[in-house]
Amino acid sequence: MTDAVVVLGAAMTAPGVPGPALVRRLEHGVRVFFARNARYLLVSGGVVGPPPAEAQVMWGLARACGVPEPCILVEDQARNTFENALYAGRMLRERGLAQVIIVTDGFHLPRALYVFRRLGLPVAGEGAETGRNFPPGLASRTRR
C-alpha cells in the first residue's frame, strides 16, 4: 500500500481558478491515489500570485473528485519545487509516511524526484501527460 501521493502545484489562470497544469496534475494524482489505495493525498503549493494558495484550490478539486476529506493533507506554503520537497517532506516525516509517490507533469518529474531525493526522501514518481502542444526545450528552462 502507498502511504501518500504528493501532488505538486502549478499556476492558476486567475485567483482561485486552476490552470491546465494544476488540473492535469491533480486529476492524475487522484487516479494514482485510488489505484494505489493510498492513505493520503498531499497537495502542495503556496500563494505564488494573488491568493488563494494552489493547495487550497487542489483541496477543493480533490474533494470534488471523491477523495475523502480526512485523506487530504494540505501544504500551502511552497512556492517552488525545493519548497514543495522541504515542506511536504516535513509533513510526511511527521506522520511516518515512507511509501510516497510524487505527481507532477512528466517533464518536471526528473527535477522533482531529484530535489525530493536530495532532501533524503525515498520517493517514486508518476508524470501527468502534458499533451502534444508541449514546447520543445521547456523542461530545461522550468523553475517549478
What is the arrangement of strands in the sheet containing 100-105, beginning at the earlier edge strand?
A: 72-75, 40-44, 4-8, 100-105, 123-128
- pLDDT at 130 (0 to 100): 80
Q: Hey, where are the domains in the chain?
A: 4-129
Neighbours of 14 (CB within 10 A): 9
CB 30 within 8 A of CB 65: yes
pTM for this entry: 0.90
DSSP-derived secondary structure letter, 29: H
78-124 pLDDT, tens digit per residue, is 999 999 999 999 999 999 999 999 999 999 999 999 999 999 999 99
Q: Do the bridges between strand 72-75 and strand 100-105 make them parallel or antiparallel, or are there none, so unpaired?
A: unpaired
Q: Amino acid identity, residue 38?
A: A
Q: Which CATH number fits domain 4-129: 2.40.50.110, 3.40.50.620, 3.10.20.30, 3.40.50.1110?
A: 3.40.50.620
Model confidence at 128, in pLDDT bands (50, 70, 90)? very high
11-57 pLDDT, tens digit per residue, is 999 999 999 999 999 999 999 999 999 999 999 999 998 899 999 99
Q: Please list the alpha-helical segments (H only) found in the chain.
A: 20-35, 54-64, 81-94, 109-118, 138-141
